Structure 1
Amino acid sequence: MGLVIGEISYTNMLPLYYYLDRDYLNRIGCMFIPQIPAQLNEAMSKGAIDVGGISSFSYGEHVDQYTLLPNLSVSAPKNVGSIFLFSKVPITQLDGKKVALTSSSATSVNLLKIILQTFYQMDVSYTVMKPDFNEMLKDHDACLLIGDDAIVTLWGLSPDFHRYDLGQIWYEHTKLPMTFAVLAVRNEILERENERISILYDGFMTSKNKCLENNYSEMISSIRKDLSGSKTYWENYFQGLNHDLTDKHIEGLYLFYDKATELGLLKKVNKISLWSALDHCHSI
């Protein structure tokens, strides 16, 4: 029947996809759907996508329906470099203010709510909008942007604005990495598509490792043609990211889910299931 693969269309996910042999994967029945995280989250929840990159928060919403592919994520041990709160005032002065949230995200939107309500004990009014810096700040005191939207905004940011990296704030308060996106598969297709999933998983791991081996050099050359930016900027950016899913990442995810549950944003997540080619999945 084939395998429909979701692909987050941001550079932070690119190392997992860059070296995939798409011609071969297409020949064996794999089809790629590139979209922003919010669109992929919805498509996967409706069964239009079988496997691929989604927001970590969306996995938490569907924890009983999805299984994670191990060793793969978009995470940050500290600074993520592409998820920013841009503000007219210091973050400590946002109590009672209005914040515009990007419509592209799930994880970052809820992470910001955790940061402002739990870490800073502030009551903030939120509005979800299309990711447009100038439009978002017309009637709001701050805005949240993610991915390439955040990077391009950062490059042209006036010194009058304050900016805050959500990955860094999370680390300062938890001492744990923040996992923003995961690679997940719908449970009902695990048995049916185990062979194709195994081939795809090997491709993801090969792509990640090859990017690490050549310090992202080929991929950065390609990115600069589309988005510009200096070679040094992109090297520093990818060195600040992490695409693994270790026990520490899982610990950070559980804490993120617990804090989201405390704020009523998410139902309690009791287990995170990881896929295995041998036993299909196990929980940790």
Structure 2
Amino acid sequence: MMRLGHIEYSNCFPVHARLIVEPRSDLAVVTAIPSVLNAALARGEIDVAPCSSIELARHSSDYRVLPDVVIGADGPVQSILLESARPIDELHDVRVMLPTASATSVVLLRTLLELRSGLQPRYAWYDQREVVDPIDDGAVAVLRIGDVALRREAPPGRYVYDLGEVWTAWTGLPFAFAVWQVRAEVDGTRELATLHEALLDSRSWFGDHDERLAHEYAAHFGMPSDRLLAYWRSLRYELDDRMQQGALHYYALAASLDEAAPLGALPWANVAGV
């Protein structure tokens, strides 16, 4: 039985929707936050997962990328937000809080602050499930991700930056937040080919039912159905040429920060089932 990781945030649902609504007997779905799925894939506890895209560059000899599927944005992403008491270009040598739930977005923020703006903040980690606002507790800025960020209403006077929007304005490229990563030992198997077909079918099925699903899952994700639907429709789920270019550019920048080894090309999974 193939073991598939599923990000608990609403942004993963459009690709996995049919697999969640209509469970398959040949598939075990493991739901968690991104950082937990990253660790589970590394330990071999799951076979495939939409893991933080930075993980691919960190495990390029062990993982392969499923073609065609991604969680990405070409401009604003709405759910990766830097909230700050100061303008973004004034964050040098101040405390910036990073969520333990994230990997890719943390490195993305580093590229934007350090490489784009030439800043060197003092980073610290926090659990974004905690009630205390890190800025009220002495930090100058805080990164929030996922549905926590999507539901967040910043207090008056705060600066809020959408990292997807800042990235695209800087690079002219979309950003791949998560790619479906495959452990090498299941690459090329018939089971992987079947799963890949199921993912493409699920994404297509979601497109035909997204309005109904937004109404049915609004309470689950803790937001109004129209907000959820607009969010889903704003994201990109196809790993096309531009999205690949954005991913490779991000990996090059991450390597310059010693966050991962250089990755010159995406290591594709064999989904032919041969």
Unpaired runs of 5+ residues, structure 1, are none
Give the aligned partner of residue 99 of structure 1: 96
CA–CA distance in structure 2, aligned partners of residues 141 and 133 of structure 1 = 17
- Deviation per CA, 1:51-79: give whole Å up to 9, x if none: 12100001111111111111101000100
Counterparts of residues 43-82 of structure 1 (less than 5 Å): 43-82=40-79
2:217 to 220, 223, 237: 223
TM-score, L = length of structure 1: 0.90
1:161 to 158, 161, 172: 158
CA–CA distance in structure 1, aligned partners of residues 159 and 57 of structure 2 = 31
Indicate how the Cα distance of structure 1 residues 133 and 114 shifts in structure 2: closer, same or farther if over 3 A, else same. farther
Q: CA deviation at 1:210?
A: 2.0
Give the aligned partner of residue 210 of structure 1: 205
Q: Would the aligned equivalents of 2:14 and 2:232 in 1 still touch at CA under 8 Å?
A: no
Indicate how the Cα distance of structure 1 residues 232 and 188 shifts in structure 2: closer, same or farther if over 3 A, else same. same
Q: CA deviation at 1:21?
A: 6.7
CA–CA distance in structure 2, aligned partners of residues 272 and 22 of structure 1 = 31
For 2:266, give the aligned amino acid.
Answer: I
Unpaired runs of 5+ residues, structure 2, are none
Secondary structure of the corresponding residue to residue 118 of structure 2: coil
Give the aligned partner of residue 141 of structure 1: 140
Structure 1 window deviating more from structure 2 (232-241 vs 102-111): it is 232-241
Q: CA deviation at 1:22?
A: 6.9
- Deviation per CA, 1:145-193: give whole Å up to 9, x if none: 100111122xx321221110000000001010000001111011224xx
Counterparts of residues 8-23 of structure 1 (less than 5 Å): 8-20=7-19
Q: CA deviation at 1:23?
A: 6.0
Counterparts of residues 18-37 of structure 1 (less than 5 Å): 18-20=17-19, 25=24, 27-28=25-26, 30-37=27-34
Q: How many residues align?
A: 272
2:250 to 245, 253, 256: 256
Q: CA deviation at 1:109?
A: 0.3
Give the aligned partner of residue 184 of structure 1: 181
1:269 to 255, 263, 271: 263
Counterparts of residues 98-137 of structure 1 (less than 5 Å): 98-131=95-128, 132=130, 134-137=132-135
Secondary structure of the corresponding residue to residue 145 of structure 1: strand
Secondary structure of the corresponding residue to residue 19 of structure 1: helix
Give the aligned partner of residue 238 of structure 1: 232
Indicate how the Cα distance of structure 1 residues 270 and 133 shifts in structure 2: closer, same or farther if over 3 A, else same. farther
